[in-house]
C-alpha cells in the first residue's frame, strides 16, 4: 500500500492505492486548505510533490482544468483530486515548523 509522507514533519500515512492525498492528510491529521470540499474549484488544496511524482495517477480532466486555471507548477497537484498509486512525499507552503 502506498505511503504518503508529509514534509517538513516527516509524518507518514499508509493509504490504499487510488485514494487522494487529501484523504491521506485527513487521516494523518495534517491540515490541508480547502473551501470546495473536493469539487475541484478552489485550488486551496494545492500541494507540492517533493518525491514520487511518478507514483501519482495522472490528473483527470477536472484536475487538469483546475491546474491550468490556477497556474499550478508541474510539481503541484490538487490534494482533493490527486490520487496516489505508490509512495510519495509532499509539502505545502503553510506547513511550518510547528509540525517538525
Binder among 3, 19, 41, 53 for ligand FES (CB under 6 A): 41
Listed residue (38, 25, 29, 19) closest to 78, CA to CA: 38
Q: Identify which range of 3-11, 13-21, 28-36, 85-93 contacts ligand FES by CB under 6 A.
A: 28-36
Among 20, 43, 49, 77, binds ligand FES (CB under 6 A): 43
Phi, psi dihedrals of residue 41, rounded to the nearest 5° = -110, -45
Beta strands in the chain (DSSP E): 3-6, 11-14, 46-51, 76-78, 88-91
Would you count residue 34 as binding ligand FES (CB under 6 A)? yes
Q: Which residues bind ligand FES (CB under 6 A)?
A: 34-36, 38, 40-45, 66, 78, 80
Amino acid at each position: 500500500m502506498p505511503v504518503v509522507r508529509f514534509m517538513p514533519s516527516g509524518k507518514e500515512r499508509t493509504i490504499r492505492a487510488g485514494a487522494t492525498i487529501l484523504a491521506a492528510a485527513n487521516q494523518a491529521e495534517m491540515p490541508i486548505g480547502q473551501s470546495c470540499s473536493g469539487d475541484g474549484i478552489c485550488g486551496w488544496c494545492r500541494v507540492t510533490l517533493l518525491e514520487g511524482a511518478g507514483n501519482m495517477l495522472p490528473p483527470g480532466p477536472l484536475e487538469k482544468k483546475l491546474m491550468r486555471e490556477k497556474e499550478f507548477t508541474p510539481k503541484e497537484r490538487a490534494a482533493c483530486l490527486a490520487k496516489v498509486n505508490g509512495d510519495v512525499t509532499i509539502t505545502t507552503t503553510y506547513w511550518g515548523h510547528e509540525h517538525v
